[in-house]
């Protein structure tokens, strides 16, 4: 497996983390509660396999992302401790 592209950026008080390529995804899993704050992670899945993730102010999710991208299948409930959309 080749290295996955990633990027990070600090924009004022927001820490952005992007990993993988989100083209060709067929499902999205959102971690975080969009009704309470702006801190969240969007996981992009293709046939149940995580292919990319974008996170804002969720460093723990960024660490999880590094371990799951490219896995054959993941339990999406483990990605969403708060809310799944």
Question: What CATH number does residue 30 fall under?
Answer: 3.30.390.30
Q: What is the pLDDT at residue 3?
A: 74
In a domain, 82, yes or no: no
Q: What is the pLDDT at residue 83?
A: 44
In a domain, 85, yes or no: no
Q: What is the pLDDT at residue 54?
A: 94
In a domain, 84, yes or no: no
In a domain, 8, yes or no: yes
Q: What is the pLDDT at residue 21?
A: 92
Give the whole-angstrom CA distance, residue 58 versus residue 65. Answer: 11
In a domain, 83, yes or no: no
In a domain, 49, yes or no: yes
For the chain, the domain total comes to 1
Domain that holds residue 9: 4-77
Contacts for 37 with CB less than 8 Å, ≥ 6 apart:
none
In a domain, 29, yes or no: yes
**Per-residue pLDDT in tens (0 to 9) along the chain, 85 residues:** 467 888 999 999 999 999 999 999 999 988 887 777 788 999 999 988 999 999 999 888 877 787 788 776 777 777 766 544 4
Q: What is the pLDDT at residue 85?
A: 41
In a domain, 73, yes or no: yes
């Amino acid at each position: 497996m080749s290295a996955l592209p990633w990027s990070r950026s600090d924009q004022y008080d927001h820490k952005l983390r992007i990993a993988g390529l989100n083209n060709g995804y067929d499902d999205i899993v959102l971690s975080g509660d969009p009704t309470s704050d702006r801190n969240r992670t969007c996981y992009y899945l293709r046939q149940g396999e995580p292919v990319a993730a974008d996170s804002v102010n969720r460093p723990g999710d960024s660490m999880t992302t590094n371990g799951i991208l490219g896995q054959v299948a993941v339990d999406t409930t483990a990605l969403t401790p708060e809310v799944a959309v």
